[in-house]
Amino acid sequence: MVEAYAKKHKLQIAVVSHRSGQEASMAVIGGHVMAAETGTGTPAWTAGKAGELKILATPTPGGLAPFGMPDVPTLEKLGADYIVRTFYGYAVRAQTPPDRLEKLRAALNRAVADPDVRQQMKAIDLTPAWIDPKTYEATLAT
C-alpha cells in the first residue's frame, strides 16, 4: 500500500519490508526507520495512543475516533484512495467432518459473544464479530 501511494504521488522512498507489525513497530520506535505501517495492538499503536509516537494517518474507514484518536486523519481524507479492512478467520482441512466444523463454529461464535473475550479484544482495538462462512468467503472475494 505504501509503495502504491508513493508511486501515485511521485514520492521517492525506500521501503523496508518487515515480517510483522511487531517487527515494524520495533524499527520505528528504535529509530531505524522514519515511519512504519503497523496495526492495532502493536507496540507502535500503543506508543501512538500514549503520545510517544505520532500516528500520521490511518487507512481505516471512519478514522480512529472510536479508539480515542479523533485527530488522526484517514488516508482517504488526505486524498489517497486506499481503504483497509482486516478480517481474521480460521481455516481447516477440506476433509474435516461436518460435525466437527459445526462444533468449531459454535465454539468460536460463543467465544466472540463472551463479554470477557470482547473486552480483551477491544483492549487491543479489535472489533469482535462473527460472520458465517459464506459471508466470510464473499467478503474475502471482494
- Separation of alpha carbons 1 and 59, rounded Å: 10
What is the enclosing helix (H) or strand (E) of 45?
helix 43-49
State residue 116's pLDDT score.
Answer: 94
CB 72 within 8 A of CB 63: yes
Q: What's this model's pTM, rounded to 2 decimal places?
A: 0.58
CA 141, distance to chain mean position in Å, is: 18
State residue 1's pLDDT score.
Answer: 67
State residue 93's pLDDT score.
Answer: 93
How does pLDDT run across 51-86, given as a tens digit for each residue?
999 999 888 777 888 888 899 998 888 887 766 667
State residue 15's pLDDT score.
Answer: 84
State residue 9's pLDDT score.
Answer: 80
Place of cell 482517504: 76
State residue 69's pLDDT score.
Answer: 87
Low-confidence stretches of the chain (pLDDT beneath 50): none
